[in-house]
Amino acid sequence: MDEFGLINKIQQLENVNHSSTKVGIGDDAAVFTPTIGKDIVTCVDTLTEGVHFTRETMKPSDIGYKALAVNISDIAAMGAIPVYYLVTIAVPKEWTDDEILDIYEGMQQLARNENVQLIGGDSVTSQKGLYLSVTVIGEVDSGKARLRSHAEVGDVVFVTGDLGGSAAGLHQLLEGENVEEHWKAAHQKPAMHTALAYEIARLPWRIALNDISDGLASESWELAESSHVQIELLEEKIPLSAGLVERFGQQKAIEMALTGGEDFQLLGTVARDNWQPLQTIAKEIGERVTKIGTVIHKGEGVFMTSQDQTTLLSRDGYKHG
Ligand SMILES: Nc1ncnc2c1ncn2[C@@H]1O[C@H](COP(=O)(O)OP(=O)(O)OP(=O)(O)O)[C@@H](O)[C@H]1O
Ligand SMILES: Cc1ncc(C[n+]2csc(CCOP(=O)(O)O)c2C)c(N)n1
Ligand SMILES: [Mg+2]
Ligand SMILES: [Mg+2]
Ligand SMILES: [Mg+2]
């Protein structure tokens, strides 16, 4: 990899340009002016070859898309808006410069859609496997970040979209099966929920939010633990990706939703009185939200009710093999 040649080519890709940016790519560090009245919200998530993708499961532009998407998802899960991003890439010799540029093109395509500006990064070589780490910087009205700790007893527990599609796509890609298009898309190019985050940001209500990277079970436990509450989920209400039960059977389909991970839907809680208006707002922007349970007590734990039987839900999220 020719580091300087690569940076030059990256700079030539069409980039978002915020007026708040004083220095972007090209100096020792980036400089921007924060918006008055906003809090800065920032996160970093990483994809590594063999763990988060292989050459068989994702093409270069999808790897780029997803590395940025998983971070935009975390920013949305704070009820915040993404503004800037930085990229660290470690490239082994098996990857060509053109493939690396395709990764950037995938990132920049999503970045243009989401109005996020690339303001810097780092490029190094790797002895083994490609490594791609993205940092996103976002903004939210001061004090308005939607925390995992905001759930209260009596709240409705809701989730956007449907679950299990990414795990189904991954399964079919790894098994070399014919992949259903909607599962392939769920795995390779998960849709973002920034539009809903934007609506939520304007609401005066208390809302707890988390995004589903490790699976519904693990993320529900995170909400319950952070808020010191017990959550009851209703198995029959969990929105499963279309065709999941038909292809994998009910038990495996639920398991995929609970522990498959990488659906990048938003999981949240909202006071009962605000649930109906939230549904209306979501509908207006073409986002589906489903009530999947209730915050039942103080304490800590997640319970699953299925056919009138309630059991403590194991918190196992996606387990790395
Ligand atoms: N190596 C680390 N050093 C410092 N803080 C970390 C480290 N890894 C994770 N964290 C912090 O721990 C918290 C939870 O991180 P985690 O990665 O589990 O959340 P997430 O990004 O929502 O999940 P996922 O990585 O599955 O998408 C965050 O505040 C994160 O910044
Ligand atoms: C080749 C291949 N094998 C398995 C998976 C599944 N996978 C990897 S990490 C993860 C959860 C989030 O982990 P983290 O917390 O590390 O971000 C999931 C569901 C994949 N995407 N590609
Ligand atoms: Mg993380
Ligand atoms: Mg998250
Ligand atoms: Mg994350």
How far is residue 87's CA from residue 101's CA, in Å, rounded to a whole number?
A: 13
Identity of residue 169: G
Query: What single letter denotes the amino acid at residue 54?
Result: T
- How far apart are the CA of 136 and the centre of ligand 5, in A? 11
Percent of the chain exceeding pLDDT 90 equals: 94
pLDDT value at 1 more than 80: no
Residue with tokens 């780092």: 122
**E strand or H helix at 70:** helix 60-76
Q: Which two tokens stand for residue 103?
A: 């990764």
Other Cβ atoms closer than 10 A to 65: 24
Residue 5: predicted pLDDT: 83
User: By the 8 A CB rule, do 71 and 134 touch?
Assistant: yes
- How far is the C-alpha of 278 from the C-alpha of 270, rounded, in Å? 9
What secondary structure letter does DSSP report for 238?
S
Whether pLDDT at 184 is above 80: yes
Q: Is the pLDDT of residue 223 over 90?
A: yes
The band of 2, judged by pLDDT with boundaries at 50, 70 and 90, is confident
Instruction: List pocket residues of ligand 2, CB cut-off 6 Å.
Output: 45, 51-54, 57, 170, 213-214, 261-262, 318
Q: Which residue from 41, 166, 213 has its CB within 8 A of the most atoms of ligand 1, so it is best to mutate?
A: 213
- Residue 3's pLDDT band (cuts 50, 70, 90): confident
**From 51, 211, 319, mutation site for ligand 2 pocket: most ligand atoms within 8 A of C-beta:** 51
Instruction: Write down the ipTM of this complex.
Output: 0.96
Cα–ligand 2 centroid distance for 266 (angstroms): 18
* Distance separating alpha carbons of residues 191 and 175, to the nearest angstrom: 24
Lookup: tokens for 313: 């839900």
Question: What is the per-residue pLDDT for 245?
Answer: 98
Report how far Cα 174 is from the mean position of its chain's Cα atoms: 22
Count how many residues are written for the chain. 321
Ligand 2 atom having least distance to the Cα of 262 = 19
The tokens describing 124, both together, are 């190094």
Q: Would you place residue 320 in the very low, low, confident or very high pLDDT band (cuts 50, 70, 90)?
A: confident
Question: In the predicted model, what is the mean pLDDT of the chain?
Answer: 96
Q: Give the contacts of 305 (CB within 8 A, at least 6 positions apart).
A: 232, 233, 234, 235
Q: Which atom of ligand 1 is nearest to the CA of 219?
A: 22
Determine which residue's CA is closest to atom 3 belonging to ligand 1. Answer: 44
pLDDT level of residue 167 (50, 70, 90 thresholds): very high
Give the nearest ligand 1 atom to 77 CA.
Answer: 22
Q: Which residues, in sequence order, are CB contacts of 89 under 8 Å at separation 6+?
A: 100, 103, 121, 122, 123, 124, 130, 131, 132, 133
| Per-residue pLDDT tens digits for 92-107 | 999 999 999 999 999 9
Q: Is residue 187 pLDDT above 90, yes or no?
A: yes
Minimum CA distance residue for ligand 1 atom 6: 44
| Contact status, residue 119 vs residue 24, Cβ threshold 8 Å | yes
What domains appear along the chain, each with residue ranges and CATH number? 3-141 (3.30.1330.10), 148-312 (3.90.650.10)
Burial 221-260 (b: 16+ CB within 10 A, else e): bbbbebbebbbbbbbeebbbbeebeebbeeebbbbbbbbb
Confidence at residue 142, expressed as pLDDT on a 0 to 100 scale: 97
The pLDDT tens digits of the residues spanning 274-302 come to 999 999 999 999 999 999 999 999 999 99
For residue 277, CA distances in Å to 126, 280, 283 come to: 50, 5, 10
Q: Which residues surround ligand 3, an ion (CB under 5 A)?
A: 45
Bridge-based pairing of strands 289-298 and 156-160 is antiparallel
Check whether 16 has a pLDDT greater than 90.
yes
Read off the pLDDT band of 117 (50, 70, 90). very high
Q: How far is the CA of 44 from the centre of ligand 3 (A)?
A: 6
Q: How does pLDDT run across 66-89, given as a tens digit for each residue?
A: 999 999 999 999 999 999 999 999
What is the model's pTM? 0.97
98 HSE (CA, 13 A, CB side): 0
